[in-house]
């Protein structure tokens, strides 16, 4: 009896699609007979789940109205400390420690709902280096602002730093969450726990005590309380990309506009970058993401490298003529 290996098993390494979130490391093993792959994600400190998609130890709050804060602490040993990360344009990113001080820390702790009676601002990546974007630099808060975006800074994505300069804070325990919505009014909410059943869409609540809890969200849901269904609810696609939910990691697909590529449409590729037009020719970007040279005067050729002279075409730089009649 001869047994053949089924032909429908895909030989692709599952780690090639980078399924692990939040800086997790993908490890794969292969069954050589069936050509099957298995993988697991080695998660960094503060994350868990099959894809490192869940965060551990961060404070959650019950609010009278659902509004996403867009700030978190990562890498601390307690919920009150860690590397500061802010959410902007569909991505989490860090804050550079240039000019970072306790006034900045007070605003961040207030946004998270922690106390501000005893805060600390740390420089030099105290709680580990982040990855990806560095969103803010030269942050200058006065300490009374409701949101770091109200403070003076160099502009989103403008910096002269590396992740070894990621800023961190340590906050006081307790406090209330006071936020100012974009249209002006304030809302103040108390810290909550699992007894209020905050986790939605089948999420599992773990109570850390003192009013802190964490929601472990099932696949294709996200948010502090698993309130978002599908990754596209927070649209990770950049530069005008269109998000589509899919049923495989990372559970979304970005349809990128012309000249953009990458998982999140983060990479711009100018087709004229690799095409040189000679003799005064100009590069024209085409609708199909390719480029062509617009030639002027007696010049022709893909790169305007030939000169037409009295019924002949001279090859540029070689002194050889070819008849085109």
Domain boundaries, the chain: 14-55, 71-172, 194-229, 271-316
pLDDT per residue, tens digit, the chain (325 aa), is 333 333 333 446 777 777 777 777 777 666 555 556 677 777 765 566 777 766 554 433 322 222 335 788 888 877 788 899 988 887 889 999 999 999 999 999 888 877 777 788 998 888 888 888 999 999 999 888 888 888 889 899 999 999 999 999 988 765 444 433 332 333 333 345 676 677 777 888 877 665 566 777 777 676 667 766 677 766 788 888 888 876 667 778 888 887 888 888 988 888 888 788 999 999 988 766 678 899 998 899 989 999 887 654 444 433 333 333 3
- CATH 2.10.25.10 assigned to domain 14-55? The reply is yes
Predicted pLDDT of residue 9? 37
The CATH homologous superfamily of the domain defined by 194-229: Laminin (2.10.25.10)
CA distance 189 to 176: 6
Q: Tell me whether the CATH fold assigned to 14-55 matches the one assigned to 271-316.
A: yes
CA distance 264 to 32: 33
Inter-residue contact 245 to 219 (CB < 8 Å)? no
SS (H, E, C) the chain: CCCCCCCCCCCCCHHHHCCCCCCCEEEEEEECCCCEEEEEEECCCCEECCCCCEECCCCCECCCCCCCCCEEEEECCCCCEEEEEEEECCEEEEEECCCCCHHHHHHHHHHHCCEEEEEEEECCCCCCCCCCEEEECCCECCCCCCCHHHCECCCCCCCCCCHHHECEEEEECCCCEEEECCCCCEEEECECCHHHCCCCCCCEEEEEECCEEEEECCCCEECCCCCEECHHHHCCCCCCCEEEECCCCCCEEEECCCCEECCCCCEECCHHHHCCCCCCCEEEECCCCCEEEECCCCEECCCCCEEEECCEEEECCCCEEEECC
Non-local CB neighbours of 150 within 8 Å, separated by 6+ positions: none
Structure-token match 């069936």, residue found: 34
Max Cα-Cα span within the chain: 90
Inter-residue contact 214 to 154 (CB < 8 Å)? no
**pLDDT per position as a tens digit, 154-172:** 899 999 999 999 999 988 7
> Is the link from the previous residue into 92 a cis peptide, with omega within 30 of 0?
no
Question: Of 195, 138, 128, whose CA–CA distance to 166 is shortest?
Answer: 128
Non-local CB neighbours of 319 within 8 Å, separated by 6+ positions: none
Question: Of 229, 226, 269, whose CA–CA distance to 247 is shortest?
Answer: 229
CATH number for the domain whose boundaries are 271-316? 2.10.25.10
CATH number for the domain whose boundaries are 71-172? 3.10.250.10
CA distance 319 to 325: 19
């Amino acid at each position: 009896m001869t047994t053949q290996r089924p032909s429908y098993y895909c030989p692709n390494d599952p780690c090639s699609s980078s399924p692990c979130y939040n800086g997790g490391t993908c490890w794969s093993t292969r069954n050589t007979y069936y050509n099957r792959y298995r993988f697991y994600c080695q998660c960094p400190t503060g994350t868990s789940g099959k894809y490192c998609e869940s965060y551990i130890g961060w404070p959650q709050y019950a609010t009278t109205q659902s509004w996403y804060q867009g700030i978190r602490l990562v890498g601390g040993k307690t919920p009150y400390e860690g590397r500061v990360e802010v959410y902007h344009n569909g991505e989490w990113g860090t804050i550079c420690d240039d000019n970072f001080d306790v006034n900045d820390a007070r605003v961040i702790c207030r946004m998270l709902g922690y106390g501000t009676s005893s805060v600390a601002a740390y420089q030099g990546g105290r709680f580990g280096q982040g990855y990806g974007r560095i969103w803010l630099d030269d942050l200058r808060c006065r300490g009374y602002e409701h949101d770091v975006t109200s403070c003076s800074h160099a502009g989103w994505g403008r910096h002269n730093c590396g992740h070894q300069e990621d800023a961190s804070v340590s906050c006081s325990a307790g406090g209330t969450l006071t936020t100012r919505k974009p249209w002006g009014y304030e809302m103040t909410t108390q810290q909550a726990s699992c007894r209020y059943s905050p986790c939605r869409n089948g999420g599992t609540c773990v109570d850390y005590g003192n009013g802190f809890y964490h929601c472990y969200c099932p696949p294709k849901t996200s948010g502090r309380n698993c309130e978002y269904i599908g990754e596209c609810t927070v649209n990770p696609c950049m530069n005008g990309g269109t998000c589509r939910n899919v049923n495989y990691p990372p559970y979304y697909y970005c349809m990128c506009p012309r000249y953009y590529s990458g998982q999140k449409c983060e990479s711009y590729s100018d087709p004229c970058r690799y095409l040189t037009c000679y003799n005064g020719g100009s590069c024209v970007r085409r609708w199909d993401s390719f480029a062509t040279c617009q030639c002027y005067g007696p010049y022709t050729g893909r790169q305007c490298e030939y000169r037409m002279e009295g019924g002949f075409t001279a090859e540029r730089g070689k002194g050889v003529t070819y008849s085109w009649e």
